[in-house]
Structure 1
Amino acid sequence: MISLRIDGALFNYRVAGVAVLNGKVLLHKTPSDNFWTLPGGRCELFEFSKDTLQREMQEETGMDAKAGEMLWVSENFFLYNGDKYHEIGFYFDMQISDLPGQADFLGSEGQDELLFHWHDVTDLHSIRIYPEFLADALAKNPLEKGHFSSPFRNLDAADPISS
């Protein structure tokens, strides 16, 4: 996985999928996290980003997903569980072929449980979602392509932190 520890910080190359259906977007979180994010994961060395999304969805949910058009690129800096992260994220339109419906379901990342939930795109400002640009970007219909950068955030707290 492309996650490098450099001078006490971590660099991540993450790929995520945007599945919007009936005005709702698929998000996930671990039981211990107090925020939601789009499903996806870290790219492996010499793996194309679209392939990363398909692999991660298969590993985490057992579902077949297809990565479509790239929507967003994000440069995101945050503190999570005591580690500073510098994350480059690629966000793709995602279609899930064997989607059983829009009920909540569980997945897993290794030994960790993941809760998947379909959130109404008009309600995203009432929840904690990261990176923060997602609340506005997902509310647009049609979705607009873009490049976003986020200042340092502490994902375990509501206020920005200093670098």
Structure 2
Amino acid sequence: MISLRIDGALFNYRVAGVAVLNGKVLLHKTPSDNFWTLPGGRAELFEFSKDTLQREMREETGLNAEAGEMLWVSENFFSYDGDKYHEIGFYFSMQIHDLPHQEDFLGSEGQDELLFHWHDVADLHSIAVYPAFLTEALAKSPLEKGHYNSGYTDLDAGNPIPS
């Protein structure tokens, strides 16, 4: 996995999928997190980004997902679980072909449980979604391609970290 420890911080290369269906977007979180994210994960060396998304969805949910066009690139700086991160994220549209319903379901990341939930796009402003640009970007119809930068965020506390 492309996650490198450099000078006491972590560089992370993450790929995520944007599945929007019937006005709802699929998000996930661990039971202990106080924020939601788009499903996905870290790329492996010599793995194309679209392949990363498809592999992560199979590993975490058992579902077959198809990565579509790239929507967003983001550069994020945050603290999480006591570590500081510099993350580059690629966000692709995603279709889940064998999705049986739009109800909540459980997945896993190794030994950790993941909660998956279809959130109404119109209500995203009322929950914590990370990276923060997603709340506004997901509200646009149709979704617009873009490049986003975020300031430092402490995901454990949900508060911006002064630069």
**Same fold per superposition (TM over 0.5):** yes
Q: Normalized against structure 1, the TM-score is what?
A: 0.99
* Residues 71-113 of structure 1: CA deviation (Å, up to 9, x unaligned): 0000000000110000000000000010011000000000000
Structure 1 partner of 2:120:
120
In 2: Cα distance, 1:29 partner to 1:64 partner: 19
Unaligned runs of 5+ in 2: none
CA RMSD of aligned residues (A): 0.6
- Tell me the matched-pair count: 163
- Give structure 1 regions of 4+ aligned residues with deviation exceeding 4 angstroms: none
Q: Normalized against structure 2, the TM-score is what?
A: 0.99
Unaligned runs of 5+ in 1: none
In 1: Cα distance, 2:5 partner to 2:157 partner: 23
In 2: Cα distance, 1:144 partner to 1:104 partner: 27
Q: Is the 8 A contact 2:106 2:116 kept in 1?
A: yes
Offset of residue 63 of structure 1: 0.3
- Secondary structure of 1:52's counterpart equals helix
Question: Among the aligned pairs, what percent are the same residue?
Answer: 83
In 1: Cα distance, 2:15 partner to 2:116 partner: 17
Structure 2 partner of 1:71:
71
In 1: Cα distance, 2:35 partner to 2:101 partner: 23
